[in-house]
A and B are shown apart, each in its own frame.
Chain A
Amino acid sequence: MVFITGGAYQGKEAFAAEKYGVGEDEIRACTEDGEPDWSSRCVTHLERYVWYCVKNGLTPEDRFRDDAVLTGDDIFCGVVPIDVTERAWREETGRFYSRVSSRADKVWRVFCGLPLELK
């Protein structure tokens, strides 16, 4: 499993396509309204799935494929949000990414379109 993180709009999906040959038809973006497509090879915007979980009192799960390529926005470097839901979302996302990263064989951070290997 591969996990690609980084700030918003940094080019994570383009990197997934370039490095791992992910096709546009394989990409399933998470929504804030339901579970991810667990059977998909490439699942993006994991932070949105965590938002769904936080809003509905659920704990985010990792049921992704062993060969999955996952992306999630880094949302951790701003001021602590005033809103209680946003605050919980930020923390829950951090914990979830750590779990996903520990399972992943490879972890990347993308910065201005350029990759940095973290694991």
Chain B
Amino acid sequence: MKILFSGGCKNGKSTLAERSVKALAGDGPLYYIATMIPHDDEDRARIRRHVESRAGMGFITLEQGTNVTRCLDRADENGAFLLDSVTALLSNEMWSENGYDPDAGERAAAELTELARRARHIVFVSDFIYSDAGHYDEFTETYRRALALCDRVLARECDTVVEVVSSNPVIYKGGLPF
């Protein structure tokens, strides 16, 4: 089963996503695809907090900040995967050590599609950043358009699509595994 969670920040997406992926994993392997690439001590501290909060939950961590399908080389495709978040992954693809890539959206969308098709169970977490009243600069607007492309492509691939509002699931497609 494939699930996409999106919604506003701090609305409980990750908690529902963790619950879902654990229900899907059963006795099989449970993977956490860690997308953050640390740039400073603040990032490293944040990662440490995330690792500690996942400790004891049974996750095997796969660090993959870019070229996300490569994480499958080190995993059993019949397992259950949690990718949190599509937002961070796209950001890494768009702004890397090679500079700014305006076409990162198409590349990330293609990789995410392949990942969704190959993994037996996978849960994606994205962020809904499309309903504010700004006239943004070109970089921000390109990023918003690219993330929306990833979201729409994943929504098509996934069995279940959920918007999370104050920890409550609004189901646009399918159903939850718990």
Measured CB to CB, the residues of A under 8 A from B are: 6-11, 73-79, 81, 86-87, 89-90, 93, 111-116
Which stretch, B18-26, B110-118, B128-136, touches the partner chain A?
B128-136
Interface string of B153-165 (1 = CB under 8 A from A): 0111000010100
How many residue pairs at the A-B interface have CB separations less than 8 Å? 73
Taking the closest CB of chain A, its distance from the CB of B78, in whole angstroms, is 27
Taken together as a complex, chains A and B put the C-alpha atoms of A11 and B161 apart, in Å, by 15
Q: Which B residues are in CB contact (< 8 Å) with A78?
A: 131-134
> Does B144 have its Cβ within 8 Å of any Cβ on chain A?
yes
**10 closest Cβ contacts across the A-B interface?**
A78-B132, A7-B130, A9-B148, A112-B155, A77-B131, A90-B133, A75-B133, A114-B172, A113-B152, A7-B131
> Does B6 have its Cβ within 8 Å of any Cβ on chain A?
yes
Taken together as a complex, chains A and B put the C-alpha atoms of A6 and B106 apart, in Å, by 22
A77-B8, A114-B172 are contacts. A7–B133 as well, Cβ < 8 Å? no
- Say what secondary structure dominates the interface of chain B: mixed
Q: Which B residues are in CB contact (< 8 Å) with A112?
A: 4, 6, 148, 151-152, 154-155, 161, 172
Taken together as a complex, chains A and B put the C-alpha atoms of A97 and B8 apart, in Å, by 22
Measured CB to CB, the residues of B under 8 A from A are: 4, 6, 8, 128-135, 144-145, 148-149, 151-152, 154-156, 161, 163, 170, 172-173
Q: Which B residues are in CB contact (< 8 Å) with A8?
A: 130-131, 144-145, 148
Taking the closest CB of chain B, its distance from the CB of A12, in whole angstroms, is 11
**Contact between B173 and A114, CB atoms less than 8 A apart:** yes
A112-B6, A114-B172 are contacts. A76–B155 as well, Cβ < 8 Å? no
Q: Which B residues are in CB contact (< 8 Å) with A79?
A: 132
